[in-house]
Amino acid sequence: MERARNTSKGKRTASGSMPAASSLDPAYAVILPTYNERENLPFVVELIHQAFSSVSLADRYHLVIVDDNSPDGTLQVARALQKLYGEERLTLAPRSGKLGLGTAYRHGLQRAPTACSRIFLFDADLSHNPLAIPAFIACMDKTQADIVTGTRYLGTGGVCGWGWKRKITSSAANLLTQWLLDPGVSDVTGSFRLYRREALEQLLEAVHSRGYVFQMEAMVRATRQFQYHVAEVPIVFVDRMWYGQSKLGYREIVEYLLTLWQLVWLA
C-alpha cells in the first residue's frame, strides 16, 4: 500500500500566496456523526473551515452533521452553526436516535451534494485533528488512491491520553486482524478517512456492521473484496480530553471479534 507522511502543505505561488481554488478541483463533503458533542462541535466546525481555507478550498467543501437525538443539545448548537456558516456550507441531518455509525454515514452521504466526489469521515469529539485534512487531500492527489486512511502505527503517528489497557486492546485488535486477514494497511480501526465517493457508496452497501466495528469491516472489504487502492497518512489520535466520554465498550469488542471471524471466510 502507498503510505504518505502527514507533512503535506498546500503549494504556494511565486509571490507566496495560496492559489485560488479552481472549478476543476474536487468538491469535498465532510460527514460528521454526533452524539453529545455540544461543547466540541463549534471547535471542530471551525477547524474544518480553517483546514480547507489553508489550501484555498473554502468554497469546495460541504459539511453534513448527523446528530442522533443528543440529549445535551448538540442539535441546537448545530443549528446555530448552520446560521453562522450558511446552509450552502452546512447541512443538518438529524435522526431519531442512536442507530449505528455505519447507518449514520449512509444517512449523511445521501444528503451530501452530488457534486462532492470526495468524502471525509472522522470523529466530532476532537480525537482527530481536522487540520490534518490537507495532508489527506495531498496524499490522494499524489497516489490516486481510492481511500486515504489515518494510521497511528506508522511514522509520526501515535496516540495520546490512552491508558495501558486501551493501548493493548487497540494493538491486539489490529495485530489479530493483520494475522487473520492481511488487509494490507497498518491501522484497520482508525476512523479518520478520505474516500472517493463511489468507493464509499459501494462499501456502505457491503458492510454489515452498524457500530464502531464498521471501520475494520470497511477496510477489510475495501482491500480484500474490492481491491481498492488504499494509502495511509500518519496521524496522532488524542483521546477525549475536553468533554464527554468514550463510547467504546465491551459490546463493541465482542462485535469486533464476531465480525472478524465472519470476514475470515471472505473471498
Tell me the angle at which helices 197-206 and 101-111 cross, rounded to the nearest 10 degrees: 140
DSSP three-state, residue 29: strand
Above 50 in pLDDT, residue 262? yes
Above 60 in pLDDT, residue 249? yes
Burial class (CB in 10 A: 0-12, 13-18, 19+), 158: middle
| pTM, rounded to two decimals | 0.85
Q: Please report, rounded to a whole number, the percentage of residues in the chain having pLDDT higher than 70.
A: 85
Q: What is the pLDDT of residues 25-35, one digit of tens each?
A: 689 999 999 99
**Mean pLDDT for the chain?**
87
Greater confidence, 213 or 32? 32
Above 90 in pLDDT, residue 8? no
Nearest to 71 by CA among 38, 111, 48: 38
- Set of cell numbers at residue 225: 473484496
Burial class (CB in 10 A: 0-12, 13-18, 19+), 96: exposed
Q: What is the pLDDT of residues 57-73, one digit of tens each?
A: 999 999 999 999 999 99
pLDDT of residue 1: 45
Phi, psi of 18 (to 5 degrees): -75, 140
What domains are there in the chain, each with its CATH number? 25-263 (3.90.550.10)
Q: How far apart are CA 70 and CA 36, in angstroms?
A: 5
66 pairs with which residues across the strands? 33
Burial class (CB in 10 A: 0-12, 13-18, 19+), 21: middle
Average pLDDT over residues 122-133: 95
What count of residues does the chain have? 267
